[in-house]
Copies of this chain bind each other. A is one copy, B any other.
Amino acid sequence: VYRVEDKEGKNTDINQKIEYLFHPKSIAIVGVSPDTTRVVGGRVFLNALINYDYKGRLYLVNRGGGEVHGLKLYDNVKDIPDTVDYVISAIPATFTPQLLLDCASKGVKAVHIFSAGFSEITDKKGDNLESQIKNIVRQTGIRVIGPNCMGLYYPKTRLTFLPESPTQSGPVGFMAQSGLNSNIAILEGSTRGVYFSKAISYGNACDLNECDFLEYFMHDPETKIIAGYIEGAHDGDRFIKILKEAAAVKPVILYKAGNTDYGAGAVASHTGTLAGSNKVWEGLLKQAGVIQVYSMEELLDAVLPFIYMSPPKEKNLGLIGMGGGGVVQAADECAEAGLRIPPLPLDIRQKLEGIYNSETGASFRNPVDIYWIRSDLTRKAIEAVAEYELFDLLLMQITLFDTGQIWELMVKPCLKAIASLSNEINHRTAISLRSVGEAGFSAIALEEQRALAEAGFAVFPSAARAANAIIKFMDYHQRRGTAADVPALI
């Protein structure tokens, strides 16, 4: 469904322009100090690539020579006795134009400029340096990612900027004008079962920009969902045109930052980008069919249903919980978001009473407040609720905390039972999983969250966030008339 049937996989211009960036046979990192106590600068990328087991050939460049990790430090990129596909530059901004000229004469195809100190600074020197880079790009044909960014993440070729990157690939193509937000997407994503085809942190975007990356993702067969953090557009008309085309063929989820005057000021200081009017952006994104979100947290939330759920036809929710107060809050939050929570019919309520050998019928009305004491009963109860044909979707509200034996002997096996249910109901079930309490237990709870995601469930930190994401997911499919029979991606 999210396929560009007539375009996908073809060697379009944009494919040629971007695709090779992700497949460098050799990389040179420029600006790696031989001082082993230094952990920033070029070291960030060296450590990341070594840790992530980058499969290509790795070269290091630093004026003055020496050796790091048994790798020779070349004085200049031109001294490397091999072809160099891709260069990561962590040298001061001032020296960057000369490096680009050296790279061009060496035959390097693309340079990722990590260094800051360009158009984002108040000093005119920054603007001048960025102009020089643009000129060199025009004159030599070399391509630039950045400056002021973290560059590329591609699990398949073990390309990364993060030492602890997930090795698993996924359906989401992510682009961001922020390195931090790229880290957040990749790391937070992995605990929630959101994995990436590719991620691109592109900073000031003085050459390749959001238009290029968006167009690339639109055609990329590995990317089924496009998500991005943008601070503005470097070529507004082209961006809107490509956004429309991309949103027509794949879900596009965008966090456009700098919504407020103060946020726009922060954007100018961050990447030197003009944030533009919030009202105008909201209109444009809506018109283009883009799903707009307002934080990195919401971005990941919004992606989840597109991976794990098939779109509910209507808004009738079966709400299953653990503990009255939690269920009440979840009911309020789901209702606020626009979901309906219609009562279960008598026969299913009686079935639940039978399962628990219980007389407390009220808590089986919907919301259904079941007892998390025996995994076989939890499984049966959820199956009984899921049987009701009026329910378009289910939500489980679960709060984890350390209750000693109750956690070990009762709640934990119930979570396992839910994971084992997955093939039957996971595509129409969201889970709100909250954990409270001390550090040791929070790690246990995060492992449970990961296990539920691995079992194919969309897991959220609260019912409010689940409901918000699901409503956006439903609106998207309703707008397109595709709610009827879209399968989940996973």
Contact = CB atoms under 8 A, between A and B. Distances in A.
Interface of A: 39-40, 44, 47, 51, 116-117, 120-123, 125-126, 162-164, 176-181, 183-184, 187-188, 190-191, 229, 231, 257-263, 265-272, 294-297, 322-329, 331-336, 340-341, 343, 359-363, 365, 367, 369, 373, 399, 401-406, 409-410, 434, 436-440, 442-444, 446-447, 450, 462, 464
A404 B163 contact: yes
Contacts of A402: 163-164, 187
Given A260-B336, A269-B362, 11 more contacts: A122-B365, A162-B403, A163-B403, A258-B332, A259-B332, A263-B332, A266-B332, A266-B367, A269-B365, A295-B462, A439-B444
B270 A369 contact: yes
Contacts of A365: 122, 265, 269
Contacts of A438: 164, 187, 190-191, 446
Nearest to A119: B362
Nearest to A401: B187
Contacts of A340: 262
A176 B365 CA distance: 23
B266 A359 contact: no
A338 to B, nearest CB: 10
Contacts of A322: 180
Given A295-B464, A336-B260, A443-B440, A270 B363 contact: yes
Contacts of A259: 332, 336
A392 B144 CA distance: 43
A140 to B, nearest CB: 27
Contacts of A265: 331, 341, 343, 365, 367
Contacts of A361: 121-123
Contacts of A341: 262, 265-266
A259 B464 CA distance: 14
B257 A332 contact: yes
A334 B123 CA distance: 28
A176 B328 CA distance: 13
A263 B410 CA distance: 27
Contacts of A296: 325, 329
Nearest to A37: B409
Given A191-B437, A442-B443, A260 B332 contact: yes
A104 to B, nearest CB: 27
Nearest to A403: B163
B443 A39 contact: no
A120 B360 CA distance: 8
Nearest to A148: B324
Contact of A266 (B126, B327, B403, B443): B327
A181 B261 CA distance: 38
B180 A325 contact: yes
Nearest to A321: B266
